[in-house]
Structure 1
Amino acid sequence: MSPEEKPGGPPPPPPQAGRCRGARPQQQQQQQPRRGGLLSEIRTAIRSEPFHLRYRLSPGRELGRGKFAVVKKCIQKDTEKEFAAKFMRKRRKGQDCRMEIIHEIAVLELAQCNPWVINLHEVYETATEMILVLEYAAGGEIFDQCVAEREEAFKEKDVKRLMKQILEGVSFLHRNNVVHLDLKPQNILLTSKSPLGDIKIVDFGLSRIMKSSEELREIMGTPEYVAPEILSYDPISTATDMWSIGVLAYVMLTGISPFLGDDKQETFLNISQMNVSYSGEDFDLISESAVDFIKTLLVKKPEDRATAEECLQHPWLEQSDEPISRAWNESAGGESSDVTQQDADSASEKSVDAEKTEEDESIVTEELIVVASYTLGQCRQSEKEKATEQKAISKRFKFEEPLLQEIPGEFIY
């Protein structure tokens, strides 16, 4: 999602350097944040030569489109490698938003050593736009599995493995004072769909740099996933992301958006009043431990929510049926990220050999640009409702304006 808000508030400090394998010494000290939690300095060289000299666009449909950005698949001419090119307009609604794009680049640089965040390859700039060349994730959004029929949807063991990766990625961001602020199924990609690959967190257009001693208040995000403190204009914190992860886990396990109403007003009221259900046939096949995991996150007071690190110690995630990663552990020479769980090392050698032929396919990645989508209704439908499914899905992809400073006071509880 591309930010449209004006930055405001006091300037937080630069993020702490991440403990990454191969990270450049003191690289984060070079980045100085702007007011409103935005970084303003990057290390990546911005190329001014024509993009088409080194890349050709792949024929076919776009990977994604928003109000101010479009993502297309492209091929690097000299290597034939696949990438995702994110074309971002610098001027939006009459305002120069180049620095917001610089911030997004800076956050991607900060997280370049983390296996669960999309990798930035190159940056180009023209008179009207900036082009981010990113990894190509062949599996697409996890949203596709969330709206699939029961037999094709995620199994709980799949959600458990992917959720551990999401939490490890978010934990890394939070330790480096970054809050994503738009975690949702459309912003979590898969390296491969079959076999089910690993996740990549994308779209840092709304992300902010936090400082515990200073407050940041902004209304932003996607309606179904925003935390209560967003609606009441209370300070944003890392706990704001954790609420979204709770909603994300609920959607991945059940295919239902827990707070979704018939319109934004009803959705906001459901969030503010904590109108959420953990019963019904959609929970028949969900373990009690998984439900308890969600309940530790969908808590109204931010200070009472579990942190990413605490979530990784939850009983639901402590035992895993599979390695945490299908591709990263081997490609990194057996080393995992600094927050990878120990159970990744307990996978049997036989299981790794069986998956070895699949890993080459799972290493490629992609990035999709999605602007504040507003999912409609229950995701999984009965046989009786299948006739209207295509119409409903098409509505899900009618992108709305980002949720920025537009919530009337009477909806705040």
Structure 2
Amino acid sequence: MAQNQKQQSGARIVINEGDHLDIVDKNALPYQLIKNLGHGANASVEMVQDIHTGSVYARKIFRNYTLWRLDEVNRLFHNEVKIMRRLAPHHHIVRVFATYIARRELGLLLLPVADSGDLATFLREYHDSQSPNDYDTQILLKCFGCLASGLAFMKQQAIRHKDIKPQNILIHQGSPVYTDFGISYDSSQAEHSTTTGRPRAFSRRYCAPEVADFCDRNSKSDVFSLGCVLLEILVAL
């Protein structure tokens, strides 16, 4: 259960797992930037280190949005947190360590910090290698079962990822980990999992035909996207 805390003026901030903090001054956060990991349409991701504990996290930040997008960004933030907490028991899905709000900056602290980047980068380097090593080959072979297991768990929890692609799969300690649940859909409280209308966002290279055509879609669309990812792995192998 997340613990809500409000920063006291001049107080030293210590963030524990499960916390959600309302921060007055983001400079009081106990994190030192190590490097930038990437950015998307709605957020950027950094590697940061807790100056008190030495622990390293991936910090996803929603910021620099205009007032008219405030409700949309808040919805994306809370939707992603809720879904990742639901999926936390599965070891092939990224988990939330803590969250905070600092005025207009919304932050998620995530684990793990991938030691081998994302699958897109991994596949590119594997393909470009003159003689791929056996360890990297085994990682790619493991992806078939690991990613299928992760997707099966999402379906059991009534979650649709909606943007499965190599860029949203991390490689950490030799295993794949799903990440980026910002546009994911939780149908557990709905009468059915099918959605209609124009998708808010999608990656055309990996989306199912019904998504690209704005037709009715359900969890099978995630299966199609995963099939595209596995096909790229097969090509690399």
Q: Normalized against structure 2, the TM-score is what?
A: 0.79
Change (3 A) 1:119 1:102: same
Task: Tell me the alpha carbon deviations over residues 142-183 of structure 1, each in whole angstroms, 9 at most, x when there is no partner.
Answer: 11121121533853x433312211111111111111000111
The 1:145–1:216 alpha-carbon spacing in structure 2 relative to 1, beyond 3 Å, is same
Match of 2:62 among 88, 94, 97: 88
SS of the residue aligned with 1:225?
Answer: coil
More strand by share: 2
- The amino acid across from 1:209 in the alignment is D
The superposition leaves residues 59-84 of structure 1 with CA deviations (integer Å, 9 ceiling, x where unpaired) of 4x411112331111111122101111
State the distance in 2 between where 1:77 and 1:158 align: 33
1:48 to 3, 9, 22: 22
Q: Which piece of structure 1 moves more, 123-132 or 61-70?
A: 61-70
> In structure 1, how many angstroms separate the alpha carbons of the residues matched to 2:118 and 2:193?
34
Q: What percent of counterpart residues are identical?
A: 19
Tell whether 2:208 aligns with 1:208: no
SS at match of 1:139: coil
Q: Which amino acid aligns with 1:230?
A: V
Q: What is the CA–CA distance in structure 1 between the aligned matches of 2:67 and 2:224, rounded to whole Å?
A: 30
Contact 1:70 1:88 in 2 (8 A): yes
Rg larger in structure: 1
- Secondary structure (helix, strand or coil) at the match of 1:223 reads coil
Equivalent residue in structure 2 for 1:143, among 75, 99, 120: 120
**For the structure 1 residues 158 and 45, does the alpha-carbon distance in structure 2 shift closer, same or farther, using more than 3 Å as the test?**
closer
Say whether 1:71 aligns with 2:45.
yes
Question: Secondary structure, in 3 states, of the residue corresponding to 1:113?
Answer: coil
Equivalent residue number for residue 90 of structure 2: 114
SS of equivalent to 1:162: helix
Offset, 1:226: 0.8
Query: Aligned residue pairs: how many?
Result: 209
* 2:205 counterpart SS class: helix
- Residue 92 of structure 1 deviates from its aligned partner by 5.4
The unaligned stretches of length 5 or more in structure 2 are: 3-17
- CA-based RMSD of the aligned residues comes to 2.4
The residue correspondences of 1:258-337 to structure 2 (distance < 5 A) are none
Instruction: Name stretches of at least 5 consecutive residues in structure 1 with no aligned partner.
Output: 1-23, 28-43, 256-285, 287-413
- State the structure with bigger RCO (CA 8 A, min sep 6), 1 or 2: 1
Q: Residue 205 of structure 1: CA displacement?
A: 0.9
